[in-house]
Amino acid sequence: MKKFNLFCLVILMVFSIVKISKAQVARPASNSGTGMFVLDGKLYDATGNEFIPMGANTAVFWQSEANGMKSFADIKKSGANCVRIISVTSDAVNSWSWQSNYTKQRACVKASVDNRLIPILEFHDVTCGNGYDNDAEGKNLKKCVDYWCTPNLVSLCNEFEKSLIVNVANEWGPITSVWRDSYKKAIIAMRTAGIKNTILIDAGGCGQNPTTILNYGQELLNFDPQQNILFSIHFYGGWMTKEKTKASWQYYVEDNLQLFKTKKLPVIVGEFGWTGAPDNFTLYEPKTIISECNRQGIGWLYWAWNSNPLETYYDIVADYTKGYSTEADLTIQGKYMVQQFKDNAKEAKSFWPTSARLPELELKQTIVLYPNPLTSNILNIDYRNMEQEDIIQIQLKNLFGQTIKDFQVNENMPCQLILAGIAPGTYFVYLKSETKSFARKLVIRN
């Protein structure tokens, strides 16, 4: 009888692996990296599963170190799957910023990965610059490229190659072919230095001009020896949604997202804000931006989780010094964004146990809980080779065997458990079927 059960278990394991493999695509032959990659207009994680970034920008370099660093666990708690880390290079002019050195930048990337968020690291030094080697305002792209190519930053990219997306520079470049030619220089320099990560390039025209991506995006993608370029468009004053009439110099969000998709250009919306900011940069309907991105399968990153404390009309958290514990800590727009994260964002499968470990996990640990330790309110359940409908009861118990919480089980088996309000500590998740019981240790660090 035991041999028969083991045989069935192995068969189920094989079917499970086959099912997982169907969701994966092979890494392109041109890509010699081990991390994320692009193919046919889509972004894939290190395991070859499609990944659609949904998260927020965190302006860590505008805040104290303590306030900046705690944003990563909070963003994970919100349900997001990605974070864009707003930083600056180690240039002496940035000496006021705690983020202006490799050690601190690495700490931010590590905090993101530790919280199972895909990190996008960028530098804000050359925003709206126009020259590669020289620029009238000193905002030359080469300044950021040279920093990326330093031994420390190359080491950072290599260490976190599995997850880190490299955003060369925030909103740099004109709307002409200079944008294309300058980024060709950047690609050569960064690839030669040994950076194999996905390179994220913001659109020209202060990040807002779609024609730079539409006209030159495919050329840059083909030019890259790794063919691993992702593009970012930022929606501010130059953009409108179709609830309103756009000015002659503006672009419609819906039309251009469709163009990106039709041309199979790998694009994300790297920044957009909430309606009604007093600077009049956000007169569009942000809910339309989100719904259209979700419909098209295009990633989006809201500006911002926490930015300038004088501009909370942009922020998700109401008080960046306090952070996020409950819904009461969120702005009006923050409540909407967090709900969108919880409803739509999917964690990168590259954070899951790898296929190389599947046999051990399938035989010894039928059910997998993640993230564990838990640093958010959402616990995911991977039933692996278990038939989900076999589970008839799920309970959270403490070390004394006392039931802390019962979870409803019906035809729609929960793949996520909401553990809001549970005190930090060590617990056990009990899952009971008609014939067996399973207990999985869970550490909560909220």
Within a domain: 16: no
Same domain, 284 and 385: no
Cβ atoms of residues 288 and 243 within 8 Å: yes
Domain termination site, one of 316, 350, 384 = 350
The per-residue pLDDT for 356 is 39
The per-residue pLDDT for 20 is 42
Within a domain: 32: no
Same domain, 394 and 345: no
Instruction: Say which CATH number the domain at 392 has.
Output: 2.60.40.1930
Strands of 416-418's sheet in order across = 368-370, 378-382, 416-418
Within a domain: 20: no
Same domain, 341 and 381: no
> pLDDT of 2-20, one tens digit each?
343 444 444 444 444 444 4
Within a domain: 437: yes
Same domain, 182 and 263: yes
The per-residue pLDDT for 391 is 78
The per-residue pLDDT for 312 is 83
Same domain, 336 and 440: no
Same domain, 440 and 314: no
Same domain, 274 and 132: yes
Within a domain: 30: no
Domain termination site, one of 320, 350, 380 = 350
Mean pLDDT of the chain: 88
Same domain, 346 and 371: no
The per-residue pLDDT for 353 is 57
Same domain, 127 and 224: yes
The per-residue pLDDT for 388 is 53
Within a domain: 359: no
Same domain, 125 and 233: yes
Q: How many domains does the chain have?
A: 2
The per-residue pLDDT for 92 is 82
Phi, psi of 79 (to 5 degrees): 100, 0
Which residue type, as a one-letter code, is found at position 34? T
Cβ atoms of residues 51 and 43 within 8 Å: yes
Give me Rg for the CA atoms of the chain. Answer: 23
How many other C-beta atoms can be found within 10 angstroms of the C-beta atom of residue 297? 12
Within a domain: 8: no
- SS3 state of residue 260: helix
Same domain, 424 and 288: no
Residue 375 corresponds to which tokens in the numbers above?
Answer: 């640093």
Within a domain: 10: no
Whole domain around residue 440: which residue ranges? Answer: 366-446
- CA 33 to each of CA 28, 117, 193, 228, 429: distance values in angstroms, whole numbers, following the listed order: 10, 20, 14, 9, 38
Give alpha helix (H) positions in 253-331: 253-262, 286-296
Cβ neighbours of residue 191 closer than 8 Å, sequence gap 6 or more: 224, 225, 226
- From first to last of its 446 residues, the chain has per-residue pLDDT tens of 334 344 444 444 444 444 444 458 999 999 999 999 999 999 999 999 999 999 999 999 888 888 899 999 999 999 999 999 999 999 888 877 888 899 999 999 999 999 999 999 999 999 999 999 999 899 999 999 999 999 999 999 999 999 999 999 999 999 999 999 999 999 999 999 999 999 999 999 999 999 999 999 999 999 999 999 999 999 999 999 999 999 999 999 999 999 999 999 999 999 999 998 888 899 999 999 999 999 999 999 999 999 877 788 899 999 988 999 899 999 999 999 999 999 999 999 998 754 333 333 333 446 778 888 888 888 988 776 565 556 788 899 888 778 899 887 876 677 888 888 898 888 988 888 777 777 888 989 86
- SS3 state of residue 411: coil
CA dist 188 and 194 (Å) reads 10
Residue 246 corresponds to which tokens in the numbers above?
Answer: 């756009």
Residue 30 corresponds to which tokens in the numbers above?
Answer: 């041109």
Instruction: Say which CATH number the domain at 54 has.
Output: 3.20.20.80
> pLDDT of 124-163, one tens digit each?
999 999 999 999 899 999 999 999 999 999 999 999 999 9
Residues paired with residue 122 on neighbouring β-strands, in sequence order: 86, 167
Cβ atoms of residues 84 and 301 within 8 Å: yes
Cβ neighbours of residue 198 closer than 8 Å, sequence gap 6 or more: 35, 36, 37, 38, 43, 165, 166, 228, 229, 230
Domain termination site, one of 350, 376, 404 = 350
The per-residue pLDDT for 202 is 98
The per-residue pLDDT for 173 is 97
Same domain, 170 and 214: yes
Which residue type, as a one-letter code, is found at position 318? A
How many other C-beta atoms can be found within 10 angstroms of the C-beta atom of residue 205? 19
